[in-house]
Structure 1
Amino acid sequence: MGAFYLPLPDGTFRSTPHTVGPWGPDSQHLGPPSALLARSLLAVRPSLSRVTFEVLGPVPVADLAVSTSVERPGRSVELLSASLSHNGKVALTARAWHIVGSDTTAVAGGAGPALAPPSSAVPMEIPEHWGGGYLAAVEWLSVSGGIFTPGDARVWARPRVAVVEGFETSPLERLFAVVDSASGVSSRVDIRTWYAINTDLTVHLHRRPTGEWIGMDARTAIGPDGVGVATSVVHDVEGPVGTSAQALFVRER
């Protein structure tokens, strides 16, 4: 089966080739490290209502240290934080709000329609020279659009490997392993000739996902001054679970 990371005796995590992104063999796609930080936050509190990741630099394919803390404790809401570092240099941070649960079944609603199910989708085409590492570690299905099809996209994704070897991957960890890809599948530019790199990722969740598949109804807008925004409605097979947003650095190569 494999995993994105191997746990080491000193509490750090060894990155495997499954984490490698499409830009080069030494840096990771942001999906696996986002899932690793989300896993650490979920170990502190069992649910997260909002998580914001700040990308401080490339995440190397190397041994990584994770730290977590509770910044603002409380009875109803709490603010958590986590960071991912290599040799003392922080590459990725996360801050998350945990809201203590209550029964709101009587007023639940307003999330919007469900995405067409995975059974109605087709395998998403990925060029052979981009087919290794992270992209091969995830199963991709297209309802419409996808990588190298510029414009809006509706896709399903399911990691083929665990986040951490020897540990079961939760639906929330699966979500964070793939949701950063919303900007890639809905890119409006040819990423072979343009950079469209996100500086951050924010995910809001109104309910916990279930099952193995995570869907993204994604779109990207690019302004005239080198800045873009990618957004998506995030789904499981039962319907929407939340939204994501990413700021984009856009430049011609």
Structure 2
Amino acid sequence: MAMYSRTGEGRYRASEHTQGPWDPGSQHMGPVTALIVHELARTAPRPGLQLSRLVVDVFAPVPVAELRIETGVARDGKRVQCLSASVSSGGREFARASAWRIREAGTPATPAGKPPAPVPPPSQEHARSWLTSGFGYGRALDWRFVTGSPLAPGPATVWGRVGVPLVEGEEITPLERLAVFADSGNGISLAIDFATHLFVNVDLTISLFRSPETEWICMESATVLGPAGRGLTRSTLYDENGEVGTATQTLFVAPREP
């Protein structure tokens, strides 16, 4: 079963593989972000322009239901192009995104830091964690911790691989694989007890200096919490060939209601 099945032009039915950890009736924003990337790839494509920045603002939890993705061109140019996207269901808008494409050109590359550690083998610790039990998105990915732990708070470096198709009958792209995974930084580097508090992101910003190319994506993530109900997660993103960019999430933090 794929995360989504197409029901019409720009319309998709979400499956249980999109379920997030906070409510079984709401989607994790990873699949939603990847679906936005999927639709943006079909919007005014031009050879030589590559998606380099994506910002998603989340207005409310996205339901596990039929979604409508509307896209457009906010600015069209020879060297850069700005796109927009809106995610709605049942006539209500749940998320809005903007994306920049930048023209490819030959430029001298600078060193991007140390390469990521190799993908480690699976462990029983992963199997016992909240990531792989209780919600569809967690079970749909293969998680491999390099540093940190899925059983304890703190920074973490984690490899992830999507185990199911994004859209039924369509091949998932490396950029979509990254988008599925990049919204998990606050979960893998949780700074407060998952059982007692919510730490939900209200946005996601992905910035890339090169396009991902491989099946496995790695995140090196850390979360900091402030004293007034806000937090920030910062993640460095890698593919198997090295660093590709960053992701940031602004967090709403609150005690769980009894």
Same fold (TM over 0.5): yes
Paired residue total: 250
Matched, 1:58 2:57: no
TM-score under structure 1 normalisation?
0.94
Aligned to 2:200: 197
Aligned to 2:246: 243
Aligned to 2:110: 109
Which stretch has the larger CA shift, 63-72 or 7-16? 7-16
Aligned to 1:30: 29
Contact 1:138 1:159 in 2 (8 A): yes
Match of 1:172 among 165, 170, 175: 175
Residue correspondence of structure 1 range 35-184 to structure 2 within 5 A = 35-44=34-43, 45=45, 47-104=50-107, 107-119=108-120, 122=123, 124=126, 125-127=128-130, 130-184=133-187
In the TM superposition, what is the alpha-carbon distance from 1:26 to its structure 2 partner?
0.7
Aligned to 1:14: 13
In the TM superposition, what is the alpha-carbon distance from 1:34 to its structure 2 partner?
0.5
Contact 1:122 1:143 in 2 (8 A): no
- Describe the SS at the equivalent of 2:148: strand
* Aligned-residue identity in percent: 42
Whole-angstrom distance in 2 between the partners of 1:120 and 1:133: 22
TM-score under structure 2 normalisation?
0.92
Q: Which runs of 4+ in 1 moved over 6 A?
A: none
In the TM superposition, what is the alpha-carbon distance from 1:148 to its structure 2 partner?
3.4
Unpaired runs of 5+ in structure 1? none
Deviations 1:56-92 (A, max 9, x none): 1010000111110000111111110111100111111
The amino acid of 1:27's aligned partner reads S
In the TM superposition, what is the alpha-carbon distance from 1:10 to its structure 2 partner?
5.0
In the TM superposition, what is the alpha-carbon distance from 1:11 to its structure 2 partner?
4.1
Quickly say closer, same or farther: Cα 1:128–1:55, change in 2 above 3 A: closer
Contact 1:15 1:63 in 2 (8 A): yes
Quickly say closer, same or farther: Cα 1:98–1:128, change in 2 above 3 A: closer
Unpaired runs of 5+ in structure 2? none
Whole-angstrom distance in 1 between the partners of 2:18 and 2:69: 16
Contact 1:14 1:64 in 2 (8 A): yes
